Amino acid sequence: MNELRKDPITKRWVILALDRGKRPNDYSYKEEEKETYCPFDYGNEESTPQEVLAFRNEGTKPDSSGWWVRVVPNKFPALNGKELNKEPHGMYDKMTGYGYHEVIVETPEHNTNFSEMSKKQLKEVIWAYVKRFNEIKKDKNIKYIQIFKNKGKRAGASLKHPHSQLIATPIIPMTILDELEGAKDYYNFRDRCVFCDIIRQEIDEEERVVFQTENFLTYVPYASRFPYESSIIPKFHSDNFGELEKDDELITELAGVFYNLFRRFKRVLKDPPFNVVLHTAPFAEDTNEFYHWHFEIIPRLTNIAGFEWGTGFYINTVSPEKAAKDLRKEEEEI
Amino acid sequence: MNELRKDPITKRWVILALDRGKRPNDYSYKEEEKETYCPFDYGNEESTPQEVLAFRNEGTKPDSSGWWVRVVPNKFPALNGKELNKEPHGMYDKMTGYGYHEVIVETPEHNTNFSEMSKKQLKEVIWAYVKRFNEIKKDKNIKYIQIFKNKGKRAGASLKHPHSQLIATPIIPMTILDELEGAKDYYNFRDRCVFCDIIRQEIDEEERVVFQTENFLTYVPYASRFPYESSIIPKFHSDNFGELEKDDELITELAGVFYNLFRRFKRVLKDPPFNVVLHTAPFAEDTNEFYHWHFEIIPRLTNIAGFEWGTGFYINTVSPEKAAKDLRKEEEEI
């Protein structure tokens, strides 16, 4: 069974998932692609675990064709435990690998991606995120749900078919803890949400803004770690991504933002590998006043080197202002 | 001029080094190597900035052939400012890119690496680390010195010729701050160094130990983030790497440890790309009681995916116990 282990120095949790080494891979060690059997294509539904959610044509059966978005448990899960047990190991701490690891198959189409999908399809993908997020949140052992997407081998994808993933964990991950701590310090000092202040300053300065809609801001962060790193953030204050469920129009608007941004990436950066990562509040913590959900989008244009690993101190060779300008100048409908 | 910028949420500093995009590269976007002019070969000394340290044959002139280890400022430095100015930018914080960025050319031999060098040569490399560390430490604007090595493109190297790097920064990098904070919490709770306790438990349990010498332990950390990640740590308590300068025999012993470990990596992991990162105490902080210097060595066998970026929460598919066992079973002299 998988296991969670905690580093006693940094307090960082690590998942040991020994079976994941066996998962199939569309990419060889060299960067070219292989043509292999795809478990996410129409007709291959039996090769995944049973679906937990699907948007599908009326009258079609679960785990058969006819869906347009399909969510299944990962066949090689990072977390899969049924019981949550916490134990010491001498001076160390561990727990069972309790949690959920799901794959959101974004479309039946094998050869497409976020920069080519319709707004309608992107909206359906976001709806799948929201639905699964709010469903899994009901499990009181879960402290955080990470929704993310790896596109391309360099970004860590092992399969080419467009998909996102969801990992629900019994601990709050380190990066989120760091953000919470920083946001709370800021709130204690200024009595305002740090993200709301960033939104205010970015809209005011303009030069790092890629584009805005009524409710969302897309910008390149002031202290970007990576060239063309971008954030999508709601302009209104909200710490919980799951609240989108109440507002179909907002999801439509967010789908338009995705549509616009990924098409810009494709044109400006020649369809790069990328990661999309949702940051949202952990559960059972009172973060409502000072946390603010957002998406981080990181094009993977360069390799990460030892200096970055050793220090968490990133060297970025493209200024955020230039990155935003390059992305801004491409006209694109929303 | 380069600039340091701070993320207001996580408090992570980022270096903007716009010229570094122009540096030469032995590796194309695809993984194969190109044959290019090497600025680190004998006879090409003029193509680097003037050397700041060289171990060279008597009677040879600076910036000419005849050296066996040579340290030069990086031609495309991450940090290069001459003056340290700190300023706000609205709600954000920035400072000039003050600091040092040097290259330790480990040998005149173009086609070798840590797993093939003699113990004698490795000792000279470590001596160069120690000498430059203690020299740069005299600059009171410098708070931290990061010594690291990227071997292979996947590990972030842009040149093939064996080299390490040193970046000296006017701030304490985030990862080190996290380690300091955790180590201090532990010390406050137990009145002991967390690293000394780890050494004790690892030696006692044996199963994550790769090998030991009189003064150094090489082991695979309990909560390893990556398959075959290893640590080299002095068994005696010391927070400051620079203190090695007092003890030539200890440097000889450490060179033997490097020799042994990298030859094991080569045989067990087929000469993988890797990063070596030194963690040592920042300056002008009283960390003597609770911090403990060490090297982290990370073979780069897999790509880092979105989940890891988003959360700082790593999925490792090889158990630390198996990794240590695999590395341990290769007999190797020290």
The pLDDT tens digits of the residues spanning A248-282 come to 999 999 999 999 999 999 999 998 999 999 999 99
pLDDT number for residue B30: 46
Contacts of B260 (CB under 8 A, 6+ apart): B211, B218, B332, B333, B334
Picking from A153, A126, A155, A176, the residue whose alpha carbon sits closest to that of residue A282 is A176
What chain A holds in terms of domains, given with CATH numbers, is 3-172 (3.30.428.10), 175-329 (3.30.428.10)
H or E element in which residue A310 lies: helix A306-311
Nearest CB to A277 within list B167, B186, B310: B310
Instruction: Please classify residue A245 by burial: count the beta carbons closer than 10 Å to its beta carbon, then call 0-12 exposed, 13-18 middle and 19+ buried.
Output: middle
Picking from A102, A95, A103, the residue whose alpha carbon sits closest to that of residue A15 is A95
Q: Do residue B201 and residue A157 have CB atoms under 8 angstroms apart?
A: no
Q: Give how far A126 is from chain B: nearest CA, Å.
A: 17
Mean pLDDT of A14-27: 76
* Spatial distance between the Cα atoms of B40 and B34, rounded to a whole number of angstroms: 16
Nearest CB to B182 within list A11, A15, A309: A11
Q: Do residue B175 and residue A10 have CB atoms under 8 angstroms apart?
A: yes
Q: Do residue A182 and residue B9 have CB atoms under 8 angstroms apart?
A: yes
Q: Do residue B306 and residue A155 have CB atoms under 8 angstroms apart?
A: yes
* Spatial distance between the Cα atoms of A7 and B222, rounded to a whole number of angstroms: 7
A-B contacts at Cβ under 8 angstroms? 271
* Spatial distance between the Cα atoms of B110 and B119, rounded to a whole number of angstroms: 18
Is A191 strand, coil or helix? coil
* Spatial distance between the Cα atoms of A195 and A4, rounded to a whole number of angstroms: 31
What interface predicted TM-score (ipTM) does this complex get?
0.89
Q: Which DSSP string do the residues of B54-76 spell out, in sequence order?
A: EEE-TTPPTTSS-EEEEEEE-SS
* Spatial distance between the Cα atoms of B102 and B72, rounded to a whole number of angstroms: 6
**Which tokens is A315 given?**
């060297």
| Enzyme catalytic residues of A | 163
Check if the beta carbon of residue A209 is closer than 8 Å to that of residue A324: yes
| Cβ-based neighbour number of residue B71 at 10 Å | 24
Check if the beta carbon of residue A328 is closer than 8 Å to that of residue A261: no
Which residues in B lie closer than 8 A to residue A317 (C-beta atoms)?
Answer: 16-21
Is A4 strand, coil or helix? strand
> What letter represents residue B321's amino acid?
E
pLDDT number for residue A198: 98
Q: Is the pLDDT of residue A32 over 60?
A: no
Token pair 């001459």 in the structure block, residue? B82
Check if the beta carbon of residue B312 is closer than 8 Å to that of residue B304: no
pLDDT along chain B (334 residues), means of 10: 90 87 60 74 97 98 98 92 92 96 97 96 98 97 95 87 96 91 96 98 98 98 95 98 98 97 94 94 92 95 68 87 93 66
Contacts of B159 (CB under 8 A, 6+ apart): B24, B25, B26, B38, B39, B40
**A139-176 CB burial, b ≥16 within 10 A, e <16:** eeebbbbbbbbbbbbbbbbbbbbbbbbbbbbbbbbbbb
pLDDT number for residue B29: 45
Distance of CA A185 to the CA centre of its chain: 25
Q: Output the CA torsion sign for A148, A154, A156, A161.
A: positive
